[in-house]
Amino acid sequence: MRLDRMGSMHQSRLSFLRQFLRRASRENWEFNRDLFEINENGVGRALYRFSTPKRDYTLICFSHDLPDEMRSDRVIASAWDATFTLYDGKPTINDLERLEKHVPYQEEGRLTQNELCLSRANRSVRLWNYVLDCLANGNQPDIKRVRDVGYLMRTTAVYGSGKFGSADRRVVVNREEANSPFQLEMMTVYFIRTFVMDLIEHLAKLKNPDNAVKLNKVIKRSFGVGNSTGLGMAPFLVNHPRLIHNWFEAKENAIATVKNLKTSTQAEVKKFKDLVKRLKPHLKAWQSEHPIQIQKNRALEHDIGKLEAKLEDFDFSVDFPWKILCVWSEKVLSFEGQEMLNSLILEPYGHLVDNFGDEMSCDETKLFLIDGDITTAKLKSAIENYYGWALEIDWSDPDCNARAWYTSEEKLEPRLGERHEMPELNEYEQALQPGRDIARAYKNLCEIDPNTTTADFLQTYPEHRHIIRRCLTCSELPFSEIRDNTIDSSMLPIDMLRAKLSFFGACHFDPRSDRWVRINMFKGAPFPDELSSGSDPENWIWAP
Partner 1 sequence: MTQGIELSLNEYEALLNKAAVGSGLPWGIAEDAAACGAWLMSFGVDKLDTWLDHLSDSSFWIDYCKKIDRPSSNKLKDIFDLAASVIVAPDTKVKLDKYEWNGKELFIRGAKQIPSFRACLNKSQFKILNNHANNTYAPATEESRLSGAGAGLSDND
Minimum gap (Å) between residue 191 Cβ and partner 1:
22
Q: Which of 17, 36, 222 is CA-nearest to residue 127?
A: 222
* Residues whose CB falls within 8 Å of the CB of residue 498, separated by 6 or more in sequence, listed in order: 6, 7, 8, 9, 509, 517
Shortest Å distance, C-beta 317 to partner 1: 50
Least separation in angstroms between residue 194's CB and partner 1 is 23
- Residue pair 259/521 in contact (Cβ under 8 Å)? The answer is no
Minimum CB separation of residue 112 from partner 1 in Å reads 7
Residues 6+ apart with CB under 8 A from 473: 241, 242, 368, 480
Distances (CA, A) of 479 to 237, 475, 485: 11, 9, 16
Please name every residue paired with 82 in a beta bridge, in sequence order, or none if there are none: 63, 121
- Residues 281, 286, 291, 296: what is their CA dihedral angle, to the nearest 10 degrees? -50
- Interatomic CA distance for residues 307 and 314, integer angstroms: 10
- The whole-angstrom separation of Cα 337 and Cα 353 is 21
Distance of closest approach, residue 276 Cβ to partner 1, in angstroms:
32
Please say whether the beta carbons of 377 and 451 come within 8 A. Answer: yes
| CB of residue 383 to partner 1, shortest distance in Å | 15
H or E segment and range at residue 444? helix 434-446
Instruction: State which residue, 119 or 122, has the beta carbon closest to partner 1.
Output: 122
Q: In terms of CB distance, is 319 or 410 closer to partner 1?
A: 410
How far are the Cα atoms of 131, 139, 219, 287 from residue 145, in angstroms, in the given order? Answer: 10, 14, 10, 11
Comparing CB distances to partner 1, the nearer of 66 and 269 is 66
Q: How far is the CB of 175 from partner 1 (least distance, A)?
A: 14
Q: Nearer Cβ to partner 1, position 164 or 320?
A: 164
d(CA 512, CA 204): 31
Please state the closest distance from residue 315 (CB atom) to partner 1, in A: 47
Strand partners, 119: 84, 158
Residue with Cβ nearer partner 1 (330 or 371): 371
Rank residues 345 and 425 by Cβ distance to partner 1 and give the closer one.
425
Q: Which is nearer to partner 1, 8 or 433 (CB)?
A: 433
Task: Name which of 46 and 149 has its Cβ closer to partner 1.
Answer: 149
